[in-house]
Amino acid sequence: MWSQVHIRGWSEEQTQEFTAKQTAGEDLEKLPDRIGEATARLLELIKSKNADACVEFLDALPIDIRIAVKPFFVHYSGRTTAVVTAHSIVELTRAVAQAESVIVPAQVYLDGDWPGFTAPVAVPVVLMPDRWRFTRPGQLTDYEQARLEQIHDHIRNEIEAVLG
């Protein structure tokens, strides 16, 4: 959710220029298709058992695609699961210890806390030293909110299909 990126010491304009560069000027509405294509290619490389080619492929991806696709490599290879988990814990602990508030995606059970959401889904939350809270839904762009709603509805439907 690029609208939630804030860089300490940078103006809003500098941050927008940075995020535009990170997305390579691509239309965000094409992001799910681009992620699907990259995932399919990565799975082909995984099947070829060429770990170096997988790493090279991942490193060449734009960051918004890489963060969505890399977990497949981690899952299938087990190469960095412990390191990634440890890194996340260190970053969150650092933020709490330094009394910083950070926005992180967290998978939480939503029972109307996010308007209309009643299933567990990752939403942006503000992590503070003593607690966490939801970001306000109005802080997302219209596209981000619509996409999050699609993902939520898909998860809710999958859960209902399994549980009846």
Here the CATH number for the domain that contains residue 108 is: 3.90.110.10
Same domain for 14 and 57, yes or no, is: yes
Q: Is residue 88 part of a domain?
A: no
* Last-in-domain residue among 49, 79, 109: 79
Residue whose pair of structure tokens reads 């969505």 in the numeric block? 68
Give the number of domains in the chain: 2
Per-residue pLDDT tens listing for the chain (164 residues): 677 677 778 887 887 788 777 776 677 778 888 888 998 998 888 888 888 888 899 888 887 788 788 877 776 666 555 666 676 677 667 766 777 777 777 777 777 777 778 888 777 777 777 777 777 656 777 888 888 888 888 888 988 888 87
Backbone angles phi, psi at 100, to 5 degrees: -95, 155
Tell me the residue range of the domain where 110 lies.
100-163
Cα–Cα distance between 142 and 114 in angstroms, integer?
Answer: 15
One-letter amino acid identity for 42?
Answer: L
> Which strand (E) or helix (H) includes residue 49?
none
Dihedral of alpha carbons 130, 93, 3, 35, sign: negative
pTM above threshold 0.95: no
Same domain for 12 and 70, yes or no, is: yes
